[in-house]
Structure formats: C-alpha cells, structure tokens
C-alpha cells in the first residue's frame, strides 16, 4: 500500500524549511521589538470553546471544524484559529492579575476542513498576536502596524491594509434592520449561504464573494456608528497616519468571526489565485467575558504563513539563504577515519556546522558532495597531516588551500568566516 499525505496538507521539505524558519524568526523578532511574549496553547480544546468564542453561525463552526469525541466522552476540536485558545489560557491562568496588559503571540498549526486550493489548507499555520486588557484605540493601530511591518520585513511588496469599524453589538443591531431592508427584495437571488446568513447574521452576507456585485448601494455600517464608535475609529486612523501605515477604509469588511467589535482589518495581496486576504484581525471587547472570565477588552491579528510563503515565491522575494554548512570534513585513510569523529564533534561543539561522508565514497566524490551542499570549506585529513598535527583547509569558492594546526582548526575557520577574506597564504 502506498501512503500519501492527507488532502489539504503539505510536507515541508529541506530547502523549503529554511524559508519557514526565516519567516518565523522574523515574526519572533518583531514581537520582541513590540514587547509581545510567546504563548503556546493546546492544539485541541473543548468544542464549546469555539462555539462560544468563534460563533455558532460562522462557517468555521458550522462547516469546517475537526471535532471528535475522546475516550472520556468529551467533545474536542482541533483548533481552527488561535484567539479563543489564547483567551481561554488568559482566563484560566489569571493573566488579568498582572499589572500590565497581556501582550501575547503564537506561531503554530490550525485545522479547518476546507476545500483544498492554493493558499487554503486543512492544516495551516498562523502567526498571531493578542493584546488583552486595554480599550485604547492606539493599541488597535499598534497591532495593525505590527502585521504590516511583518510583511515588509519578510520582503513582500504591495500588501494593502483595509480597515473598518463593526461597532458594538448595539450598533450592529440597529444596522441589522437597515441591512435586512436592503437585502430582503433580493433574497431569492442570493446564494444559499447568504440566504441562511440573512436569518442569523446578516452582516456576514456582505462578506460573501459570490454575490458581492449585488451589494452595490448597500447601507454602510459607518453611517450607523454612535459617537463612541466613531471616536474610536477616528483615533485608530489618526494613529495609523502618525505611524505612516497606508490603509483604505472598506465599509463591507466584517471578517468571518462573530467576536469582533469596533475595529476590523485585513491585509490584502494579489497572487494566490482567487484568494486575496493574507491576514487580518480586529478588536474583540466582550470575548473574555463570553469565555467565562472577567470582562477585559482585547485586540489581535492572525497571519497565514502558507499564504505569506506563496506570495514570497510569487514575487521572487525573501532572503538569499546561504549554505548552512561551514565545513565538509574529508578523512583519507584508516588513521584519519579513527580521528574524524572526535574532530568533527569538537568543531560542532565550537559552533560550526560540519558534515562528513558516511558512505565510504572516494575523495573526489566527497568533494562533489561538499559542492552540492554548498559547504564553504573542506577540511582534509590524511596520514601526512596527522604526522604534523595539521589539517588541510580548502576554500571551496576560491580553491585556495593551506595547512593549519589541527588544534586550532575551529579558530582558523571562525576567523575566516568572520573576516570573509578567504584563505591568505604566507607566500605574499
């Protein structure tokens, strides 16, 4: 029987994993600068957490969750998004008792049973941040800026920021009536999802990609904002302007989760088929209370790493990933083979990346292997070098070679890597 990876998943192979590491490290470094600390939560939680946190009328809960009953008869779900689990951890571990707001970030896999296509996977990875404990609109702007800075830092271009205010539950209730009045005459012409959403959550009709053209002239929620919501949204824009974060206002932007209040935002980019949203988030005042904690306002974002990597590939962006191997060690003869394990281990303990042959290949084949993996140097040890307690060190780019003391091999290599001057002979 031939096994294959499950639909909607992918194998990240050597060569691609290094780019993943770069993207993840970029996210971690940005969070350090913004003073967000890492949190790691379980990959599965009680199903009710997502029903209450994400919203029972969302596509995620209705159609996309991987839910199972464990051996104790409990309904559990593989996490489809990161915020609900982080908020649960915030409540359970009483992080609200700390004097400062909780500024947290996570990187990890999420799971949704979706139709697999470019940029949409059933196991996907998110980088997300959550800031819990403040209603300050400047914090909304900080989170938006962090996400925008992430895309710039990894080397992507033409990532646009769209923002909107979805108000408060009271504002949305009033807007709901206006929107239903607009949608009612066209109900029969809308897709089945839109017809269903009209009954339970009509704001999400505006998020439909199928019927989008029919919503020209729809009422804008921005016209229904009360004084508090208008002031909050104005302050978010003021802060973004001060930070020189470019953005546009999209009054139809509602996001696919029920917990948002006030600010909602998305990052858009072309190049992944029909998908143009590569990340997003918003404020979620009330979510902490919904999950059973003392009411605390919060704001966060989630960025799809697979979509980020697809865009990097599409744009030909990202770093030039150099060789991960500093030295390829070549042992010539039985004596050298006996010495090789100890020398290679000491080089690795000194912080150098070292590879050697384990297939009994000839010296010429070992040099070819060193070239294939992009090693910077070859260290060649034979009987003559052992008698002198030396080793031949060859720069594989310049092809220059000289002998150096075996005891000082690690220092010699490190000096050459640091100065990047190549090997300089004493014949000058």
Tens-digit pLDDT profile for residues 86-106: 999 999 999 998 889 999 999
Helices and strands (DSSP H and E) totals, the chain: 14, 16
> Considering only 8-12, 33-37, 217-221, which range has the smallest mean pLDDT?
217-221
Compute the distance between CA of residue 395 and CA of residue 402 in angstroms, rounded to an integer: 9
In the chain, ranges of CATH 3.40.50.800 domains = 327-416
Question: Which pLDDT belongs to residue 257?
Answer: 65
Tell me the mean pLDDT in the region 40-69. Answer: 89
Tell me the mean pLDDT in the region 416-425. Answer: 61
Q: What confidence category does residue 178 fall into, taking pLDDT thresholds of 50, 70 and 90?
A: confident
User: According to CATH, what is the number of the domain 327-416?
Assistant: 3.40.50.800
**Total-model pTM:** 0.87
Question: pLDDT tens for residues 310-366?
Answer: 999 999 888 877 668 999 999 999 999 999 999 999 999 999 999 999 999 999 999
Instruction: Give DSSP secondary structure letters for 47-90.
Output: HHHHHHHT-TTSHIIIII--EEE-TTS-EEEE-SSSHHHHHHHH
Q: Is residue 67 within 8 Å of 47, Cβ to Cβ?
A: yes
Query: Which of 408, 416, 423 lies closest to 347 in space, CA to CA?
Result: 408
Packing angle between helix 305-315 and helix 17-34, nearest 10 degrees? 110
> Considering only 199-203, 236-240, 301-305, which range has the smallest mean pLDDT?
199-203
In the chain, ranges of CATH 3.30.930.10 domains = 17-167+225-315
What fold is seen in the domain 17-167+225-315? BirA Bifunctional Protein; domain 2 (3.30.930)
Does residue 178 or residue 382 have the better pLDDT? 382
Compute the distance between CA of residue 301 and CA of residue 140 in angstroms, rounded to an integer: 10
Compute the distance between CA of residue 234 and CA of residue 371 in angstroms, rounded to an integer: 58
Compute the distance between CA of residue 328 and CA of residue 370 in angstroms, rounded to an integer: 6
| Token pair in block for residue 337 | 């083979």
Q: Is the pLDDT of residue 421 over 60?
A: no
């Amino acid at each position: 029987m031939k096994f294959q990876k499950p639909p909607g998943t992918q194998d990240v192979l050597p060569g691609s994993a290094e780019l993943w590491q770069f993207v993840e490290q970029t996210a971690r470094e940005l969070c350090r600068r913004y003073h967000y600390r890492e949190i790691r939560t379980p990959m599965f939680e009680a199903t009710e957490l997502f029903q209450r946190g994400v919203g029972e009328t969302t596509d995620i809960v209705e159609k996309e969750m991987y839910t199972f009953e464990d051996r104790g008869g409990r309904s559990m779900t593989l996490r489809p998004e990161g915020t609900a689990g982080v908020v649960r951890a915030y409540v359970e571990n009483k992080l609200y008792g700390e004097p400062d707001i909780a500024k947290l970030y996570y990187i990890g896999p999420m799971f949704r049973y979706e139709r697999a296509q470019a940029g949409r996977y059933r196991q996907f990875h998110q980088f997300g941040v959550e800031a819990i404990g403040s209603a300050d609109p400047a914090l909304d702007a900080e989170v938006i800026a962090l996400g925008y800075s992430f895309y710039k830092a990894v080397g992507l271009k033409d990532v646009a920021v769209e923002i909107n205010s979805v108000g408060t539950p009271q504002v949305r209730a009033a807007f709901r009536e206006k929107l239903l009045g607009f949608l009612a005459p066209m109900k029969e012409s809308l897709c089945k999802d839109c017809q269903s959403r009209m009954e339970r959550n009509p704001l999400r009709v505006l998020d439909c990609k199928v019927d989008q053209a029919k919503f020209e002239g729809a009422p804008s929620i921005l016209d229904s904002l009360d004084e508090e919501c208008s002031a909050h949204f104005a302050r978010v824009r003021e802060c973004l302007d001060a930070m020189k974060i470019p953005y546009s206002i999209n009054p139809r932007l509602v996001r696919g989760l029920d917990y948002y209040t006030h600010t909602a935002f998305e990052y858009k980019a072309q190049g992944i088929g029909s998908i143009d949203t590569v990340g997003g988030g918003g404020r979620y005042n009330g979510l902490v209370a919904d999950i059973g904690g003392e009411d605390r306002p919060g704001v966060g974002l989630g960025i799809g790493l697979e979509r980020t990597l697809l865009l990097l590939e599409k744009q030909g962006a990202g770093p030039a990933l150099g060789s991960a191997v500093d030295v390829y060690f070549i042992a010539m003869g039985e004596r050298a083979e006996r010495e090789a394990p100890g020398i290679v281990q000491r080089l690795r303990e000194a912080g150098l990346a070292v590879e050697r042959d384990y297939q009994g290949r000839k010296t010429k084949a070992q040099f070819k292997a060193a070239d294939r993996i992009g090693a910077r140097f070859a260290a060649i040890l034979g009987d003559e070098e052992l008698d002198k307690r030396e080793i031949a060190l060859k720069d594989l780019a310049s092809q220059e070679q000289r002998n150096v003391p075996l005891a000082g091999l690690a220092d010699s290599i490190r000096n050459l890597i640091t100065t990047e001057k190549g090997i300089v002979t004493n014949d000058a």
